[in-house]
Chain A
Amino acid sequence: METNTSRKGNPLWNTLASIKLAVFLFITLAVTSIIGTLIPQGEADQFYLERYGQDLFKIISTLRLNDTYHAWWFVSLLLLFSLNLVVCTINRFPVTLRIFKRDSLSCGPDYLSRLQLKKEWVLKDKEADLDPILNSFKNAAGIPKERDTGDRRLYLVEKGKWSYWGVYGLHSSIIIIFIGALVGLFWGFKGYVELFEGETTDHVINRSTFEDIPLGFDVRCDKFAVDFYDNGAPKRYVSDLTILENGKEVLHKSIMVNSPLTYKGVTFYQASYNSIPEVNLHIIASNGRQGSLTVPAMERVAWPEGRLSVGIIQYLPSIHGEPAAQVWAASPNGEADTVWLLKGHERELSLGGNTYKISLVDAKNRYMTGLQVKKDPGVWIVWLGCTALILGFIVVFWVAHSRIWLWIGQKNGKMTVLLAGQANKNQLAFEKDFTKIREAVERAIGDKA
């Protein structure tokens, strides 16, 4: 492409402005993107060591191929790509401006008769009435601009001149998308939180740094439910969420996959769930104490009155239709034992000089909902960029700049009417339009020619 003459000498500028660099970057980005799809991303070091061995692991960790798309060199490629786009745009701007400002009414008959689409009529009568010809041209082509230089007149119907700017819309859309992504990166966050039914939180956890992110309000999970189809596939995950400000309920929504909840720019997405079994135990100790304990899996629950702490080692939802659990129990002096309990069958256990009668009263699954939590103030900029991308593309490839001229004047001493047209794309459609206008003008000229 033409380059701006004033900057022609600067080789760095010329490289940055070159389409060669653009194509090179397209290819490099495409090829390096492939790497990230072949090597699993975001695994622990150990994974790469085992899978690829010591030598390849060194390469992977040096080039950060375990997180290719955020590696310094990949981000640099993206930056260079943006720079290339911006410089290309600046460089081409004066050229486009010149094309845009070009005066299409300064064309003479010589230029027009060299165009591919044209028709010339030589009128028999020098003093013929030209108004009907002009009117039929206006009716067929539209309202023209005109330039009258006494004995010769030029009319021009021009459409889609603005389409030269489409390529700038298209290219800046990529930059707009990048800006939107950066805004999200700097002023947003990606977090997650897991909430039991009934649990409330005022913060979530950052997905990459695992740090707490305060929300500035509370969110509570009232209920979680999962439905299944007859074939066992999941049908619906639903979490009933309540937003609280200073303990007051302000918003309530049941969220599902594809139907999140947004409050103050923070969006909660249904992402996963977990169910944790919870067992109710009844224990009678030989010291006369008795108690009811609720023991969730993987937690150690203390019962000081009975000088005992208990935990669940294994849980089976159904043995002959009844729940069963392997319970671990320990006395304060460190003595411990395990026992299998089946609902409806009492068992005895001796620990620290006491005897305990333990029975499993009830067991159920306690649901925990897994939420992705996101704040992204840049997402609207990204959507704006996407819209600009599509509209820009349509303008670049389908909106034509078309010009149709009607020149009337003396040529070689004879009164001449010259119709000519030119379009920079969609030739076929333009030829059809031109033919219609030509026929209209021809009818108006009739036997005057």
Chain B
Amino acid sequence: MTLSSSFLLSVTTFIYLAAAVLYLTTWVFRVQKLGVLATAVTITGFLVQTVGMGLRWTESYQLGYGHVPLSNLYESLVFFSWVTILVYLVIEWRVRNRVIGAFSTPFATFAMAYASFSPDVHDEIQPLIPALQSNWLIAHVITCFLGYASFAVACGLGIMYLIKSKGGEEASSGLLGVLPSKRVMDSLMHQTIVFGFLWLSIGIITGAIWANEAWGTYWSWDPKETWSLITWFVYAIALHARFIKGWTGRKIAILAIIGFISVIFTYFGVNFLLSGLHSYGSTK
């Protein structure tokens, strides 16, 4: 085979890196033409990655294992970056502001770089062990990562918001001036958190249904489950504080960042530091 999925996915890493650099340059030097290029590069990366994931799927059939590429840490990282880019592109298209790209595409780049270069992450196509042979695997992983990706974008927006609010009086001009208005960022943060919370909830529920079918227990307080619940609590606080107490802006931005740290811990920390039912999600 001349064109392999691992080649395409490696290339994707560099395309996303280029996109992140272009978005940052567009923001810092305010060259609008570069922004158009950044979007074009991101879309190209997204398409290359989509083909790469599709190829990996067909390759798994050629190996005789045949499964959707959502089964181990490598494949989940690839999918995470894919959804993050998708969520970002939708926001760029709706808000028509490219600065958000400078704070969203790096998440996708990091995920792809980690997947491609870390010695902890193995990119071979592995057969599915019995516990993973379920259609709930697909539903569970897709819904969880839709949540994670939305929270990544919300975190990016939170960082932007804090940078902008630090700027104080000068925030209407210069570097900070190109950032979307605080009101727009606040509203986007809220929307991405709401969207992510819905998918995280569905992700936890599909996981529970699956666990019930595989082991007969829908909730067993294993570390990954517990951490997903902790993450759920953090965002529940953000939603309640906004709804009832009218929290906006800085406070929500900080919660968006804390929430994403909790997501990262749910995603990696549990796999590498704690043991439990989800250990097949790690490398060992």
What is A's interface to B at a CB cutoff of 8 Å? 1, 19, 22-23, 26-27, 29-30, 33-34, 36-38, 41, 68-69, 181, 190, 229, 231, 233-237, 256-260, 267, 269-271, 372-374, 376, 379, 382-383, 386, 389-390, 393-394, 397
- Which of these binds chain A: B77-85, B161-169, B213-221? B213-221
Q: A257-B131, A389-B201 are in contact. Are A382 and B241 (CB under 8 A)?
A: no
Q: How many residues of chain B are within 8 Å of chain A by beta carbon? A: 42
CB distance B216 to A22 under 8 Å? Answer: no
Interchain nearest-CB distance for B236 vs A (Å) = 6
Contacts of A37 in B (CB 8 A): 223, 226-227, 270, 274
Interchain nearest-CB distance for A376 vs B (Å) = 8
User: Top 7 nearest A-B pairs by Cβ distance?
Assistant: A374-B216, A257-B130, A30-B233, A37-B223, A258-B134, A19-B244, A69-B221
- The chain A residue with its CB closest to the CB of B209 is A383
Tell me which of A69, A258, A259, A382 contacts B218 (CB under 8 A): A382
Tell me which of A1, A190, A258 contacts B133 (CB under 8 A): A258
Known contacts A256-B130, A393-B197, A393-B198; 8 additional CB pairs below 8 A are A29-B233, A36-B221, A41-B221, A234-B130, A260-B216, A372-B216, A374-B216, A389-B201
- Cα distance A26–B245 when bound, in Å? 15
- In the complex, B257 has a CB within 8 A of chain A: no
Interface string of B130-141 (1 = CB under 8 A from A): 110110100000
Interchain nearest-CB distance for A180 vs B (Å) = 9
CB distance A397 to B240 under 8 Å? Answer: no
CB distance B244 to A397 under 8 Å? Answer: no
- In the complex, B181 has a CB within 8 A of chain A: no
- Cα distance A75–B244 when bound, in Å? 26
CB distance B214 to A258 under 8 Å? Answer: yes
- Cα distance A236–B134 when bound, in Å? 12
- In the complex, B129 has a CB within 8 A of chain A: yes
Contacts of A259 in B (CB 8 A): 213
- Cα distance A234–B131 when bound, in Å? 10
CB distance A26 to B233 under 8 Å? Answer: yes
Interface string of B220-254 (1 = CB under 8 A from A): 01010011011001101100110011000000000
CB distance B230 to A30 under 8 Å? Answer: yes
Name the prevailing secondary structure of the B interface residues: helix
What is B's interface to A at a CB cutoff of 8 Å? 65, 126-127, 129-131, 133-134, 136, 194, 197-198, 201-202, 205, 208-210, 212-219, 221, 223, 226-227, 229-230, 233-234, 236-237, 240-241, 244-245, 270, 274
Between-chain CB contacts (< 8 Å), 13 pairs: A19-B244, A26-B240, A34-B226, A229-B127, A231-B127, A234-B130, A258-B131, A267-B216, A382-B208, A389-B201, A390-B198, A393-B201, A394-B198
Contacts of A397 in B (CB 8 A): 194, 198
Contacts of B237 in A (CB 8 A): 23, 26-27
Contacts of A33 in B (CB 8 A): 226, 229-230, 233
CB distance A374 to B240 under 8 Å? Answer: no
Interchain nearest-CB distance for A41 vs B (Å) = 7
- Cα distance A229–B134 when bound, in Å? 17
- The chain B residue with its CB closest to the CB of A88 is B244
- Cα distance A234–B230 when bound, in Å? 33
- Cα distance A379–B213 when bound, in Å? 11
- The chain B residue with its CB closest to the CB of A181 is B219
- The chain B residue with its CB closest to the CB of A396 is B243
- The chain A residue with its CB closest to the CB of B227 is A37
- Cα distance A29–B203 when bound, in Å? 20
CB distance B216 to A236 under 8 Å? Answer: no
Q: A231-B127, A234-B130, A260-B213 are in contact. Are A386 and B233 (CB under 8 A)?
A: no
- Cα distance A379–B219 when bound, in Å? 11
Residue among B134, B136, B221, B234 with max Cβ neighbours from chain A (10 Å): B221
Interchain nearest-CB distance for A383 vs B (Å) = 7
Contacts of A257 in B (CB 8 A): 130-131, 133, 214
